[in-house]
Structure 1
Amino acid sequence: MNTEQKLEKPILTEDVTFRKTDEGPKQEEWNWVDSRQVQDEDVLARPANYYEATLSPWKTFPALEHDCECDVVVVGGGLLGASTALHLSESGVETILLEKNKVGSAASGRNGGQLTPGLARWEAESIIENFDYDEACRLWKFTSIESFDLIQEITEHYALDLDMRRGHLTAAIHPGHINALTVGADARRYLGDDSVRILGPYEIRDHINSELYYGGALDKIGGQIHSLGLTRGLIYGFVKNGGHVYEDSEVLKIETVSEGVSIETAQGKILAKKGVVLAVHHTTFQLLSDVNSTIPFYTYVGVTNPIEGGSKTLLPTQMAVYDTQLQIDYYRPVRKERILFGGQGTGMRWNSDKVVDYLMSRIKTIFPQRDDIHLELAWSGTTDLTLNGAVDCRKLGEKAPIYAVHGWSGHGIAQTVRIGKAIRDDFLKLNDDFEMLASIEHRSILMGRQLAPVAIPLAKSLLGLGNKITPGKMISF
């Protein structure tokens, strides 16, 4: 291992600083800023998104430009990679993390920041259907209270300020959806979780100042967090524990050798003597040709101007919200009385103009009484989904284990962090939590990536048709 790395703790700023992004030129996603807020052409061309723009300046790490060896190589600087690396470092495992762009520059630093329980699209009902009672209870606890408590423990141990809040709402856009939410709450009680309370049409307005909803569910476990701050906070802990990070270091080849696993980048090579973790989300297939179980899709998020009178005029209890429409809206209050608002999932990436128009149309639908709201920032993101809706967790390799996790469907900040700990535990043979996750079977999707631009719109159209025929049946994409 080479010289020690040092890193300052991520610090949240009071409000947005409109500035140029730190993301590298290879970043596939786009960021947008309202030109009324910025005159600098360089910033307008490559602005920082909201999460970047509300964090203190962050150190960039060097690219890997030499050959070395260590116990474990983690590929990917998002939440899964950062959590796994942190937990390995806490156990004294010599670990190197490689990121092809910048830490948190992909989905982990571009999502809606909402904390909800479950394993991607598997909520309590799906878990009950696929596991016996004892294992279902165990998996639900893993994906709910254990996941949220772990983030709390990490933030306290490393003294991180991440704007974490508890409490989450699911708002029903049709009276028939209340029944589905009630069944979901009942399934959770069956598994020993009484954290959900069903709200009626009047009580929901105590939380959301909108006449759009017919009730909802209040989840005391769920919540919200500054997701890029969390990712950087995990990296901060990893480096503090002696870990090493290399950015702008895309992995080109993984090969099993007699001494372990060889990891090759453009300018360097690492021998991982004891294991590899692939935490590269929707691009796992590029490194493991026989793992092709996901379809990519694109998501979009924006942040409003400061709300006149304060965000409590729209969200009195300041809880994060999902709704139950087919193409869900999700939103939450953030610093300086702004609202972060996201929605839509597409097979091809929309441009910024189309996204801003779409998100604003949704904001006006929910809060038609306000004509003073506009977006000041927006950005795109990429996630992936599996056919069965659960996260795909695998353990491969011959000489040394190769862990791979993908297929989050845009859900799972807290669970991603928890799975990072589970990988560490499996590596050290502390428990069989990862085996439980890996027992879920997944099917390969033939030509899934090539067909995504057609398959996703077609699936949404068919679901939308079903939604019109039976509007009381809750179907969300």
Structure 2
Amino acid sequence: MTMNRRDFISTVATLAGAGVLSSVLPNLSLLAQTLTAADARAVNVDKLRPTLLEDAQHRASRLGLDPRIWNWHKDAAADAMPANYYEASLADWSAFGSLPGDQNCEVVVIGGGLLGVSTALHLAEAGVDVILVEKDNIGSGASGRNGGQMTPGLARWEAETMLEKLSSDEAKRLWRFASVEAMNLVDELRERYSFECDRKYGHITVAVHAGHMGPLVANADARRQMGDTAMKVIGPHELQEEYVRSGIYHGANIDSIGGQIQPLALLRGLVYGFARLGGRIYDSTKVKGFRQDAGGTVVETERGAIRASKAVVLGVHSSTGEFISGPSTTVPFFSYVAVTPPLPVDVKELIPSDLPVYDTQLQVDYYRAVRNNRLLFGGQGTGNSWSPRDVNNYLLGRIRTVFPQLEKNELEYSWGGISDLTLNGAPDARKSGDSVPVYMVHGWSGHGVAQTVRIGKAISDDLTGRNDDFTMLTCIDHASIPLGSYLSPVAIPLAKGVLGVISTFNPAEMVSF
């Protein structure tokens, strides 16, 4: 019997799914890689499995970054680019090398974040020949810089919104897709490819005003309407005794779905899985554009051309506008995260539940305990990138408001990142009508760690004809935002100002950015 390259990769995927790839055939993936890309830079696949360090180690970043964003460390020189906390808490990882010249494949994935890598991995599992290209390094963008908190829902579409905008059956299907299925898929992939990413389960949404408890109860009721009983509502006494020891909250929703994760470790784990299946990965390879011709779609890069015979996937989030014509549906914004040094008090005295926390204020705070008794704390959304000094002052002020006992505590790491939002709060998913279609998803509104992974599978399933989950996402209508990327420095402060006035005069109205 003759086995071609595609059949070989499919067989490897089947063995990986059965859990025997690593234990029985440890060298098979290397052979797959050789057959798939004989001219690729040699990479030791086993060393791609993410290794979490006991504690973060201050060092220079090895990730190329968008010039608009930054990393800060308390001991770094002003002109240095230190690793952010996630990179600093993982063992060093090799770059893959740039595209060595013209290539052919079935699918090209542009963007090495969670959406792109999940799509590539699921296509490889289905036996599809995939090339993934990233303009910087894997993990340079939002997928390696976010808060690491996983909540159910589709960006800012929660259960109530789905019931308002969709039929009951459609709402139930979309909710399940964006909640249980998304979280379960992350766990399945983690187990299938045997990597660690500090996964913890459950999360808390805390009310900063007594009037916000009504909307939290309504959200729990909407979820129960759809058969989801994973959420319970609690009052301030139980919250402070068992979950979060801060006196500023009026109650909370406790949700057993979701949780937290080390996002860069998750991303590297998915890359590890893709590489084991023979996937071709090229970083430091900037795409200039793509065009259709008789033989497929040609993706033009600064290092050569890649011809895709079946599809192109855009997993570049806020940079999607660089590749599509017509009005934008998103506006980019900047957000920020910080991590403390090891705290002088046991972090379990602050968060005895060890659950990640979101609040309901206009500018949402989110925080969680991380390794070695540290506190990760994030928030704020701005139209222009704030300086490290302004960010640190803001986040320290918020930490000290929530936990006054940390009045003298400082920060060790902080960093900024770019996300994008749509007017209706749901991500914009599209598929072109070309014979070799282009898939794209953007507009995550700062939410979507697990959902990007699930949508990557949906793209794969659509391309291989397994189901119409991706079509469900493309049916969500979006309003155009002409000059969206240029409006951000004006539109974001204006929107925050208007919402701030509403919040000031009606603090019981739950409005968040």
Same fold flag (TM > 0.5):
yes
Does structure 1 residue 149 correspond to structure 2 residue 189? no
Does structure 1 residue 401 correspond to structure 2 residue 441? no
Deviations 1:220-274 (A, max 9, x none): 0020000011111111100001101100111101111111110011121100110
Give 1:289's aligned amino acid: S
* Counterparts of 1:267 and 1:95, CA distance in 2: 17
Counterpart contact for 1:170–1:321, Cα < 8 Å: yes
1:184 to 216, 219, 238: 219
* Counterparts of 1:371 and 1:452, CA distance in 2: 34
Instruction: Please report how far the alpha carbon of residue 369 of structure 1 lies from its aligned counterpart in structure 2 after TM superposition.
Output: 2.3
Partner of 1:331: 367
* Counterparts of 1:17 and 1:151, CA distance in 2: 27
Q: Assess, with a 3 A threshold, how the Cα gap between structure 1 residues 288 and 250 changes in structure 2: closer, same or farther.
A: same
Give 1:463's aligned amino acid: L
Q: CA RMSD in A?
A: 1.2
Does structure 1 residue 429 correspond to structure 2 residue 465? yes
Partner of 1:114: 149
Residues 223-234 of structure 1: pairs in structure 2 closer than 5 A: 223-234=259-270
Deviations 1:176-214 (A, max 9, x none): 000000000000000110111101010111211110101
Deviations 1:69-100 (A, max 9, x none): 00000000000001001101111100000000
Counterpart contact for 1:259–1:399, Cα < 8 Å: no
Does structure 1 residue 18 correspond to structure 2 residue 54? no
* Counterparts of 1:112 and 1:24, CA distance in 2: 19
* Counterparts of 1:175 and 1:94, CA distance in 2: 54
Residues 34-49 of structure 1: pairs in structure 2 closer than 5 A: 34-35=74-75, 41=77, 45-49=80-84
The normalised TM-score by structure 1 is 0.97
1:133 to 161, 164, 168: 168
Q: What SS does the corresponding residue of 1:217 show, helix, strand or coil?
A: strand
Give 1:307's aligned amino acid: L
The normalised TM-score by structure 2 is 0.90
Residues 283-302 of structure 1: pairs in structure 2 closer than 5 A: 283-290=319-326, 292-302=328-338
1:364 to 400, 410, 417: 400
* Counterparts of 1:331 and 1:320, CA distance in 2: 6
How many residues are matched? 472
Give 1:52's aligned amino acid: E
Partner of 1:124: 159
Partner of 1:272: 308
Q: What SS does the corresponding residue of 2:337 show, helix, strand or coil?
A: strand
Instruction: Please report how far the alpha carbon of residue 27 of structure 1 lies from its aligned counterpart in structure 2 after TM superposition.
Output: 4.7
Residues 213-362 of structure 1: pairs in structure 2 closer than 5 A: 213-290=249-326, 292-362=328-398
Instruction: Provide structure 1 residue ranges, at least 5 long, that are not aligned to the other structure.
Output: none
Give 2:330's aligned amino acid: T
Instruction: Please report how far the alpha carbon of residue 25 of structure 1 lies from its aligned counterpart in structure 2 after TM superposition.
Output: 6.0
* Counterparts of 1:25 and 1:134, CA distance in 2: 43
Counterpart contact for 1:284–1:291, Cα < 8 Å: no
* Counterparts of 2:365 and 2:251, CA distance in 1: 15
Residues 47-126 of structure 1: pairs in structure 2 closer than 5 A: 47-126=82-161
Does structure 1 residue 33 correspond to structure 2 residue 73? yes
Instruction: Provide structure 2 residue ranges, at least 5 long, that are not aligned to the other structure.
Output: 1-35
Give 2:112's aligned amino acid: G
Identity of aligned residues (%): 51
* Counterparts of 1:73 and 1:28, CA distance in 2: 27
Give 2:250's aligned amino acid: Y
Deviates more, 1:197-206 or 1:367-376: 367-376
Counterpart contact for 1:208–1:314, Cα < 8 Å: yes
* Counterparts of 1:332 and 1:415, CA distance in 2: 20
